[in-house]
Amino acid sequence: MSGILEGKRVLITGVLTEASIAFHTAKLAQEQGAEIILTAFPRPTLTERVAKKLPKPTKVVELDVTNDEHLGRLADIVGEELGGLDGVVHSIGFAPQDALGGNFLNTPFESVATAMHVSAFSLKSLTMACLPLMQNGGSVVGLTFDAQYAWPQYDWMGPAKAALEATNRYMARDLGKQNIRCNLISAGPLGSMAAKSIPGFGELASVWDSRSPLEWDLKDPEPAGRGIVALLSDWFPKTTGEIIHVDGGLHAIGA
């Protein structure tokens, strides 16, 4: 029996460690029949090392999503490797340390601008860089952390994720005519490299211990990876502009 991504070609960003959602997405995508290509920044060698643990070999391309030169050459590199694309996974987020950890009221605009550029605007710029390769439509899937709420310690990454969610809706509006679907997975907290960069992450994650209807495992990125793979597949042909929660159900529960 063939996998749900059989014949699909997918670009995946954000593979840094085996603990990342992006790594599990890449692994599952290959297992489900996709050809993939990975992007990496700032240390492609780190991603290349982790990529060796995937079921099949895959090319790693250096990509700084704030660098117009990198974005401009992406379609040529990926096109030469895969011929085209059917899916793009945006698993990119960054905020300077002074934009996190309880410093919300004192964060300078320069740090906020960096968080917005890398974490939100890059969804649009990455998609537009890949657009020439998506002549037959496709699926763009990003990762958010529920921006309806003000989370402990998360500070300016919260508004950045809110901007990401709004960007996703506008992209769904403007790319629908090209049969490109744009959706987000809102994952619960995970003990990834991104989480380790948030001062006081444990306080944020502890909310799940008392409020999540389904037991939540900080060490298991696979459920979120499965959600991404499902959205990349043809099983959601008319779903776009959506945010699907893979968070143990916490988003539905009050205090």
Q: Which helix (H) or strand (E) holds 12?
A: strand 9-12
Residue 53 a catalytic site member:
no
CB 44 within 8 A of CB 58: no
Residue 161 a catalytic site member:
yes
Q: Which amino acid is at 248?
A: G
Q: What is the DSSP string of 62-123?
A: E--TT-HHHHHHHHHHHHHHHSS-SEEEE------GGGSSS-GGG--HHHHHHHHIIIIIHH
Catalytic residue, chosen from 154, 170, 219, 238, is 154
Residue with tokens 């309880």: 102
Angle separating helix axes 122-130 and 157-175, nearest 10 degrees: 30
Classify strands 180-187 and 138-144 as parallel, antiparallel or unpaired.
Answer: parallel
Question: How many Å apart are CA 138 and CA 225, to the nearest integer?
Answer: 18
CB 13 within 8 A of CB 22: yes
Return the biggest CA–CA distance within the chain.
Answer: 56
Question: How many Å apart are CA 201 and CA 179, to the nearest integer?
Answer: 38
Catalytic residue, chosen from 161, 170, 196, 219, is 161
Q: Which residues are catalytic?
A: 154, 161
